[in-house]
Chains A and B, each alone.
Chain A
Amino acid sequence: MGILTDPSAGQGKITKAIISYHPKLSILLYISGITWFCFLAYTPLNAGTYFSENALLPGLVKSEFRDDGSAKLFYDELQDEMKKYDNSIPYPWILAKFQQIGLDTYTHNFTLNYPLGKSNTKYNGKNVYGILRAPRAGSTESLVMSVPYRPPTNINPTTAPGVAIMLAFAKHANRQKYWSKDIIFLITEHEQLGIQAWLEAYYHVVCGRRGVLDHGDLRGRGGAIQAAINLEFHDINIDRMDIKVEGLNGQLPNLDLFNLATRMCTKEGISHTFKNRENRNYRDPVKDWNYAFQTLMTMIFTQASGVPNGNHGLYHRFGIQALTLEGFSDRKTTNPGNFLSVGRILESIFRSLNNLLERFHQSYFFYLLPSSDRFISIGLYIPSVCFIAGALFLKACGKWFRLYKYLINLSEMSAEDKRNLELTENANENIKIISICGIFLFTHTIGILLMNSPKLITTVGSQYGYNTELSLYGGFAIIFVLLLMIPVLITIKTCYKSMTVLHVVALLEAATSLICLSMYNFSLGLIVGTFYVPILLLLEPCRCRAYSVIQKLLWFIAHPFVTLTLLVTIYTIFNFPNESFGENVLRGISATQQAVVFAIVDFMIYSNWLYGVITCVMVPNWICFWCVLFSTAKTDAYITIEKKND
């Protein structure tokens, strides 16, 4: 702080350097941040994965699972049962199987009150679960194996083989005496909604908005859940196991669990992939980097959306380490299936988890994966986003020193010069802190109102007969246009000092929120930073009309609402090149509408932060910069003064 408050600071070497070189230094910082990140995928610069938790003892025991025959039998029976239940879980069959196996069997009902629109639409669901009670413990800890059930009418690939192997594993496991943790076998309905409702009921909490998801009650529980494995097996013959880790809001499971899953797949001879990409070793370093970087970027994009890519993602919030094993069949062969090796993978994973004495706490919770056997720890990747945000800090610093120098110059000026200056601009005007605070408060209040507006917008929209998607999109468009008018209301546009302070504060807010964001969800922070920081570095109120218009246009495009619409439309145009342009634009806009609705529903049910971050942080910050762009202060005079003094 000394450098900012000390009156003699303006004369320091560093200060002078910052004043004169900060634009170039900022760009350098930004580029170095991006380069840093890009180099992380290069194999010698990241680390190989390893087990931190000794208690896991992975793969130490001999696999004993031999029930592949019953898995096959369960699968055939399930296929018959599924024909009778078009749209739901075959409850009686599954309950009967659980009971025959000897598990404590329960069902769980939940209701979703759809939060948008006028009519109170309700959706009901029912999960089934069975608990294997460990003989050596008093139900204080448990593990979960879950399968999202997909009825035949579901468009997604079936998960019935997962149910079959789960039942076979339960049958095998219930005869063993070594379990020290209960195992909960859970079959959920309605994809992520079912698992969210079950977890909320287990912990008796509401995660999203109150009254949206009625989680119901559970009759049986198994104590503190230590880990969960979610199964999505699409075929009885599994050649390839994809391991999915990205969870809600970009949370990841402990790296030890991921390592455990990869090692056990390798042990049983089923090839595993991460982001559907196998590990490849190229001799050529460029090729090697390129392949790893692509894998890394796929992970970054999945993580940034904050939407879990499997049911495992909803466990993470509760401190449960979870991942999804998705099994694919590559060859279209007619061989009878390899339930044996898949069952043994599950057995090995669960026996390792059974060995845990403490909950997962070793290893990494924050990491990026360029392949399934290498990882980038938080210590390595966080500097990149710090550099990117540092560019903004530097720019804010530079602007502040400039303002400071300007004040010094003013005080050192002769009376005559001052009079001349006053003819051209109001240099005597003081910094209006209250106005600046007012703008800040105003924009952020708008952000919070915007975050809470969907319910109102859709209610109003439905009264005029518009559907949810259209009324939300239209409502946001109207609000967006209205917000563009805000600079008209700003009274301090002509004051150079106040506008600079506003600019500095807005820059600081952008940089700080960027760093905070990347602490929680690095991928989102990185993408936002990469996209916004260069534009923010360019923005500089100036008198040149053409440059000013370009800046405003650029910043207009950078509004999240416009960006989303543009991106989705461009994506649509590239994906459907045969359609006419107009058709594609319409299609793009309707896709955007759906994306907006999905984001809001995710926010209300699962409390996905993406919508909240955009409305509460990004939009207010955007408006602040928009106001700064409309500054009409004449800065030429001050530049001449500067030159005179130098």
Chain B
Amino acid sequence: MKALLTLLAISSTAAHCTSDSFTEELFIKPLYTEHIYSHFHFSTIWNTDLFSEKFRHTHLFPRALGEIIKRHNVQELHLSLTAGLWRYETWGYPVTSAAPGAELWAWFKSDTEDVNSNWKDLASSLSGLICASFNFIDSSNSVSPQYSFWPNGVINEQKVNSSFLRYSSLPREIVCTENLTPWKKLLPCESKKGLASLLNSGYIHNTRYHSLSIHFRPICRDPKCKFTSIEVQQSVDLVYDYLILGSRNWSVRKLFGQGILGPCPLAKSSTVYVDVSSNSTFPFQLSPEPHEFVYSSRGGYESKFAKYEITEQPLALAANYIDKPSVVINSPPALHANQYLTGYGQELGGIVTKLFNNHWNTLDVVVLQNIPWYVPIYLHTLKILSNGVVLEPLSLKYIPGKLRERPYYLEIVLTLPPRSTTLISINFEHVFLKWTEYPPDASHGFYISSSVISSLLPLARNYTGLPQDATMIVDSFNKSGYGYLVQVRTEAMVVTLPTPDFSMPYNVICLACTVVALAFGPLHNITTKRLVLKPDNKEGLVGKIKQKLDVIKSKLTGTKEKSEDSSSK
């Protein structure tokens, strides 16, 4: 009987083993500016059904994440923690784009009853899982965008109902080691083996941009999509600056503090890709020689990748530039955007989003703005000007915010004219907050999160993003499609709200306490002590002194005085 049970247990484990897989990839791309971009991509696929899976037992899939997903009825989950800002204008597009600070969006299953409470609980659980302040996310700073975010994975329903979607971002979040450590623990090999061992916080936080992300979704198991699997993609995006590194010649050791010591034993594949497309303009020599060159033609653009399969042999990957550095003229990508505040003073202000279309044709874009309730915007002041001409939006969704309950949600669909600069401006008013609503550093300002501009680009120039059905980076090679989805995130903004002088209440409290204390003493004395009538001593100061002297004298002389006294009597 015992033997049978053991056998069963072994067989079930074996079943799990075959049903999930883990891959790890590192993608390095020298950017045209003085930067180098490296992207770690870890993906786990588990051939199980999201609806029936209980997440009691997992093999490669992170169980901690699975339990949260199960408990909060999550269909799809995307979270990112980012420090710095991805500079689209000079760097092109990243593999996964993320807003500065923390960003979270999730689809809930269509049978979820109370999405808002699930959303809040989910955020709180995730906050515990990766030590970030997601617990500040609730319905007062979340929106349900209609156009900007669509499910990335498989869905059961024909019609997408955005009421099961929640999106929020916390631009104030500061991302650091404390987030990286729990994030690494979700990987099968953690940071002990494989590519994840390169993620040393001492090195990866010295970058111009770093971003951690987790993307969870159900996917099709095969092209027919009869069965579904679940997939989690974990990625780290890093942009190093040659100026901070000290030279243009980079090596894995210089970037991450150590060489690649071997693959994660649990990984199905462990690969490094180096984008060598720029080698023709800026020749650099890779050492050691790559195992193979991979050519990719995508969206009208050719790329060449050097591929390294990681074996048990340590790999000290390095690149040496052959020519002297020269300044290149930057050619910005098709679509990028800025966002900034206008006006000064503490009464009125404005938010301007500037969209640049560098493409020769028109571009359809969706602009999503999630404006916090403490910055009430006026819709009638919304102006959209493209090269000085008023542009009518194709569609405009707006839900006004409510004080302390709901943010202002604005989503605009636009057709940008070819080679144009479009300004979307809207005015707002500064509000007074309750004194408990100010953060400890009240004069720092309040954040307005970045807006998200989504578009399907017709060309894949400067584009490294993954297609929707891809799990690994290798899936994106030679994958031309109808369009290439980009989601450009703009800068977050800091607005100064009228801030009271917080030391003043403190002073008032001090003063009031002093007064109370002064009043309390005498009152306490009067009420608790018995008042006794004291015989009136009318002798005055001289008399008192005389009396004291007499007492002293009597003590000194003792009986002598007594006799004198009696004699005088």
A: residues with CB less than 8 A from B are 99-100, 102, 104, 133, 135-141, 174-177, 203-205, 220-221, 223-224, 317-319, 357-359, 361
Residue pair B208, A133 in contact (C-beta under 8 Å): yes
- Residues in A with CB closer than 8 Å to B315 are none
- Residues in B with CB closer than 8 Å to A220 are 338
- Residues in A with CB closer than 8 Å to B350 are 204
- Residues in A with CB closer than 8 Å to B101 are 138
Distance between A262 CB and nearest chain B CB, rounded to angstroms: 23
Dominant SS at the A interface? Answer: loop
In the A-B complex, the 8 residue pairs with the smallest Cβ-Cβ separation, listed nearest first, are: A138-B100, A204-B342, A358-B443, A138-B85, A361-B443, A358-B444, A135-B208, A318-B344
B189 within 8 A of A: no
Residue in A closest to B439 when the chains form the complex, CB atoms = A358
Residue pair A140, B491 in contact (C-beta under 8 Å): yes
Residue pair B445, A224 in contact (C-beta under 8 Å): yes
Residue pair A140, B344 in contact (C-beta under 8 Å): no
- Residues in B with CB closer than 8 Å to A319 are 344-345, 496
C-alpha gap A135/B86 in the complex (Å): 11
Residue pair B492, A138 in contact (C-beta under 8 Å): yes
Contacts A135-B84, A203-B342, A203-B343 hold; do A140 and B447 have CB atoms under 8 A apart?
yes
Residue pair A204, B171 in contact (C-beta under 8 Å): no
Contacts A100-B327, A224-B494 hold; do A205 and B342 have CB atoms under 8 A apart?
yes
Residue pair A223, B494 in contact (C-beta under 8 Å): yes
Residue pair A99, B327 in contact (C-beta under 8 Å): yes
Distance between B213 CB and nearest chain A CB, rounded to angstroms: 16
10 A-B interface contacts by CB (under 8 A):
A99-B327, A135-B84, A135-B208, A135-B244, A138-B101, A140-B447, A204-B352, A205-B342, A223-B340, A224-B494
Residue pair B342, A177 in contact (C-beta under 8 Å): no
C-alpha gap A100/B82 in the complex (Å): 28
Known contacts A138-B82, A140-B447; can you find 13 more A-B pairs with CB under 8 A?
A102-B34, A135-B208, A138-B171, A174-B243, A176-B244, A203-B343, A204-B342, A204-B343, A223-B491, A223-B493, A224-B495, A319-B496, A358-B441
Digitize B121-151: 1 where CB-to-A-CB distance is under 8 Å, 0 elsewhere.
Answer: 0000000000000000000000000000000
Contacts A140-B493, A358-B442 hold; do A177 and B343 have CB atoms under 8 A apart?
no
Of listed B82, B209, B352, B445, residue having the most chain A CB within 10 A: B445
C-alpha gap A141/B100 in the complex (Å): 13
C-alpha gap A99/B326 in the complex (Å): 11
Residue in A closest to B209 when the chains form the complex, CB atoms = A135
- Residues in B with CB closer than 8 Å to A176 are 244
Residue pair B445, A177 in contact (C-beta under 8 Å): no
Residue in B closest to A135 when the chains form the complex, CB atoms = B208
Interface size on B, residues (CB 8 A): 41
Distance between A175 CB and nearest chain B CB, rounded to angstroms: 5
C-alpha gap A139/B444 in the complex (Å): 14
C-alpha gap A231/B491 in the complex (Å): 29
- Residues in B with CB closer than 8 Å to A133 are 85, 87, 208
Residue pair A177, B206 in contact (C-beta under 8 Å): yes
B424 within 8 A of A: no
Distance between B428 CB and nearest chain A CB, rounded to angstroms: 14
Give the tally of cross-chain contacts (CB within 8 A): 88
C-alpha gap A32/B243 in the complex (Å): 63
- Residues in A with CB closer than 8 Å to B343 are 203-205
B320 within 8 A of A: no
- Residues in A with CB closer than 8 Å to B44 are none
Distance between A418 CB and nearest chain B CB, rounded to angstroms: 57
Distance between B20 CB and nearest chain A CB, rounded to angstroms: 36
B21 within 8 A of A: no
B275 within 8 A of A: no
Distance between B323 CB and nearest chain A CB, rounded to angstroms: 16
C-alpha gap A137/B499 in the complex (Å): 23
- Residues in A with CB closer than 8 Å to B494 are 140-141, 223-224
C-alpha gap A224/B171 in the complex (Å): 15
C-alpha gap A220/B342 in the complex (Å): 14
C-alpha gap A433/B208 in the complex (Å): 71
C-alpha gap A176/B241 in the complex (Å): 10
B426 within 8 A of A: no
C-alpha gap A358/B341 in the complex (Å): 18
C-alpha gap A136/B244 in the complex (Å): 12
C-alpha gap A104/B352 in the complex (Å): 20
C-alpha gap A221/B100 in the complex (Å): 16
C-alpha gap A223/B445 in the complex (Å): 12
C-alpha gap A361/B445 in the complex (Å): 12
Of listed A100, A133, A139, A175, residue having the most chain B CB within 10 A: A139
Choose among A100, A136, A317, A358 the residue that contacts B344 (Cβ–Cβ < 8 A).
A317
C-alpha gap A372/B519 in the complex (Å): 44
- Residues in A with CB closer than 8 Å to B243 are 102, 174-175
- Residues in A with CB closer than 8 Å to B492 are 138, 140
Residue in A closest to B99 when the chains form the complex, CB atoms = A138
Within 8 A of A (CB), among B490-537: 491-496, 499
Contacts A102-B34, A177-B206, A223-B340 hold; do A136 and B443 have CB atoms under 8 A apart?
no
Residue pair A221, B340 in contact (C-beta under 8 Å): yes
Residue in A closest to B205 when the chains form the complex, CB atoms = A136
- Residues in B with CB closer than 8 Å to A317 are 344
Residue pair B84, A136 in contact (C-beta under 8 Å): yes
Residue pair A359, B443 in contact (C-beta under 8 Å): yes
C-alpha gap A205/B340 in the complex (Å): 13
B83 within 8 A of A: yes
Residue in B closest to A218 when the chains form the complex, CB atoms = B340
Residue in A closest to B86 when the chains form the complex, CB atoms = A138
- Residues in B with CB closer than 8 Å to A223 are 340, 491, 493-494
Residue pair B441, A221 in contact (C-beta under 8 Å): no
- Residues in B with CB closer than 8 Å to A361 are 443, 499
- Residues in A with CB closer than 8 Å to B344 are 203, 205, 317-319
Distance between B271 CB and nearest chain A CB, rounded to angstroms: 29
Residue pair A136, B441 in contact (C-beta under 8 Å): no
C-alpha gap A545/B469 in the complex (Å): 102
Contacts A133-B208, A140-B491, A177-B206 hold; do A359 and B342 have CB atoms under 8 A apart?
no
- Residues in A with CB closer than 8 Å to B342 are 203-205
B23 within 8 A of A: no
Contacts A141-B494, A205-B344 hold; do A175 and B244 have CB atoms under 8 A apart?
yes
